[in-house]
Amino acid sequence: MDIAGVRVRRRTLSAALAASAVSAAAGCASTADDVVNAVKPPDRGTVGISMPTKKQTRWIADGENMVKQFTLLGYKTTLEFSEDSVQDQVTKLDGMIGAGVKALLIGAVDGSALTQVLAKAAAAKIPTIAYDRLIRDTGDLSYYATFDNFKVGVLQANAIVDFLGLATPGGRPVTVEIFAGSPDDNNATVFYNGAMSVLRPYIAAGRLLVRSGETTFDQVATKGWDGAKAKTRMARILAAGYPTVVLDGVLAPNDGIARGILEALTEAGYGTPAKKLPVLTGQDAELESVKLIAKGQQTQTVYKDTRELAKVAVQMTNALLTGGEPRINDTTQYNNGVKTVPTFLLQPVNVDKNNYRRVLVDGGYYKAAEIDG
Ligand code: GAL
């Protein structure tokens, strides 16, 4: 980003010098001040970016993409991560408000824990944008930029339906276990609802069996999106419910959780010709999981192009700060308990062994060597 910033500044400088040369040639008086003013990069102030954690690599990419794009528009940025600590995030947001940032972009650790700090931002006339995760219980949130979260769940469940051939009538009942994300993340419920909208009819018809009996959100949620917790739960379920019966599918809400589940499965003897790994979903197209897809160990992931989300959030912020109207495409789905937040929804993309090269390599998200290496 520094390099890009320098490049922009250089271009501005040569443009300004060229302009002053033209005006000198045209006989206009050109003072030293004119030149200095013209070469100053536009100073649009600092934007605060608060990401929840570095534990999932996607947030690092999200943060860096936003910094790059804000820099090109002439903004400075403060980018902070909070390692999933609510208190740390609130303290860092407080600090940014105190430092006089022009706007705040927030990927919340806990979507229900920011009411007070957003009130402070509002009092200081700092607009706030919820990044990827909705911020709840506040009237002070200006906008929300995210992916179609319900569709994420639908794509995950469709992978289970497709790879297990559930739509073909007359097949044997197959076994599945269900995992969801962190209860403090609003998205987790939306992903779960999307997935269950597809799976519930199969469960009701007896085509899908959940031998643990754990199907409600509270029963299947994974606090902190913690892969280790998911591994422990998977191991417990395998030991109790699948001593001889084989598990055919697992709905995992993201890649980190899928990898935890995969460890438990492998330790329980799955992944041999006699005991094939179950169909296993994911989300975020993290490099480690895309490698597992290439090797046939994880079945699917949901790709959310963080470059596009960053672009939308940056454009929203820039519009707000320059007196424009941010572009939105949803005004109904995201009520945060106080208001329905104007939202821009991007489309998530299903990725599996059949299309990962086309989507992720041809799309420039990863290099082939990164995946195969
Ligand atoms: C969600 C996000 C997912 C995934 C998950 C784990 O809020 O929408 O893409 O990253 O958090 O961090």
Name the closest-CA residue to atom 10, ligand 1: 284
Cβ 131 vs Cβ 105: under 8 Å? yes
Reply yes or no on whether the pLDDT at 335 is more than 90: yes
Tell me the per-residue pLDDT of 87-134, one tens digit each, with 9 for 90 and over: 999 999 999 999 999 999 999 999 999 999 999 999 999 999 999 999
Cβ 103 vs Cβ 320: under 8 Å? yes
Cβ 76 vs Cβ 46: under 8 Å? yes
How much is the average pLDDT of 127-156? 98
Percent share of the chain, pLDDT over 70 = 89
Pocket test for ligand 1, best of 155, 225, 286 (most atoms within 8 A of CB): 225
Which two tokens mark 350? 């299903």
Q: How far is the CA of 188 from the centre of ligand 1 (A)?
A: 8
Distance of alpha carbon 83 from alpha carbon 109, whole angstroms = 8
Q: How far is the CA of 210 from the centre of ligand 1 (A)?
A: 25
CATH code assigned to 46-141+305-346: 3.40.50.2300
Residues with CB under 6 A from ligand 1: 56, 58, 132-133, 181, 185, 187, 225, 254, 283-284, 304
b/e map 318-329, b = 16+ CB within 10 Å: bebbeeeebebe
Cβ 76 vs Cβ 100: under 8 Å? no
Global model pTM greater than 0.85 = yes
CATH code assigned to 149-304: 3.40.50.2300
Cβ 310 vs Cβ 62: under 8 Å? yes
pLDDT at 33: 52
- Amino acid at the residue 31: T
Tell me the per-residue pLDDT of 161-196, one tens digit each, with 9 for 90 and over: 999 999 988 888 999 999 999 999 999 999 999 999
pLDDT at 38: 55
Q: How far is the CA of 120 from the centre of ligand 1 (A)?
A: 26
b/e map 65-76, b = 16+ CB within 10 Å: bbbbbbbebbbb
Indicate where the chain has its CATH 3.40.50.2300 domain(s): 46-141+305-346, 149-304
Q: How far is the CA of 19 from the centre of ligand 1 (A)?
A: 48
**Which residues, including other chains, have CB under 8 Å from residue 282's CB and lie 6 or more apart?**
156, 252, 254, 255, 257, 258, 289, 298, 300, 301, 302
Tell me the per-residue pLDDT of 202-218, one tens digit each, with 9 for 90 and over: 999 999 999 999 999 99
Tell me the per-residue pLDDT of 256-309, one tens digit each, with 9 for 90 and over: 999 999 999 999 999 999 999 999 999 999 999 999 999 999 999 999 999 999
Ligand 1: atom nearest CA of 132 is: 8
Ligand 1: atom nearest CA of 52 is: 12
Q: How far is the CA of 304 from the centre of ligand 1 (A)?
A: 10
Name the closest-CA residue to atom 5, ligand 1: 254
37 band by pLDDT with thresholds 50, 70 and 90: low
CA dihedral 233, 55, 70, 285 (to 10 degrees): -60
- The average confidence (pLDDT) of the chain is 91
Name the closest-CA residue to atom 1, ligand 1: 187
pLDDT at 373: 77
pLDDT at 5: 36
Question: DSSP assignment of 251-303, as one string?
Answer: E-SSHHHHHHHHHHHHHTT-SSSSSPPPEE--SS--HHHHHHHHTTSS-EEEE
Q: How far is the CA of 207 from the centre of ligand 1 (A)?
A: 30
CB atoms inside a 10 Å sphere around CB 223: 14
